[in-house]
Chains A and B, each alone.
Chain A
């Protein structure tokens, strides 16, 4: 987890540098990068302090990752990227919202026995969004 967090932080720097360059705008580019960096710090925190440590999710840093696909989608939209790529990021954001609701008890799907699985399912659109934004930005680097 710490290794992936390091990749995320380095990737955030790249996204923060590259998105403004391709026309996403400085604010959108940097805020997207900040959400990646903060959620990566949360990932490092979770790796360094395994459950049941109270520091596992301290400050809720990972939650910033929920906004990465949304901001990244708007950033790529402003940078006139492929519409399908933008749509994919918005779909990822909706998926994150739905899974987050499930994790908070909606539908009664998440239980003590499977909450960890739901967290990993939540990580799929969130982290895949990071990789996707990195890929789209790298294509134009």
Chain B
């Protein structure tokens, strides 16, 4: 794979990520994207093996 194509993948990466978020938010408007309970320690403790 040519290096220019590989670098194009790096350029496309954030575009794909944020486009996916937007599509998901539009497709599932009832799901709040801000609510991530486990982020701040309110979810069950992580698996001991992790």
Chain A: residues with CB nearer than 8 A to chain B? 1, 3-4, 6-8, 10-15, 17-18, 36, 40, 43, 51-52, 54-56, 58-59, 103, 105, 110-117, 119-120, 123-124, 127-128, 130-131, 133-135, 137-138, 141
Chain B: residues with CB nearer than 8 A to chain A? 1, 3-18, 20-21, 32-40, 42-44, 46-47, 50
Q: Is the CB of A12 within 8 A of B34?
A: no
Interface centre among B14, B18, B38 (most CB of A within 10 A): B14
Q: Is the CB of A130 within 8 A of B40?
A: no
Q: Is the CB of A117 within 8 A of B10?
A: no
A71 to B: closest C-beta gap in Å: 14
**B residues less than 8 Å from A15 (CB atoms):** 6-7, 10
Q: Is the CB of A120 within 8 A of B21?
A: yes
Interface centre among B7, B15, B43 (most CB of A within 10 A): B7
**A residues less than 8 Å from B32 (CB atoms):** 113, 116
Rounded to whole angstroms, the CA-CA distance of A58 and B10 in the bound complex is: 23
B47 to A: closest C-beta gap in Å: 4
Determine which of A4, A13, A51 lies in contact with B36 in the assembled complex, contact meaning CB atoms within 8 Å: A51
Chain A, Cβ-Cβ closest to B33:
A116
**B residues less than 8 Å from A12 (CB atoms):** 10
Known: A11-B6, A54-B46, A137-B7. A111 touches B33 (CB 8 A): no
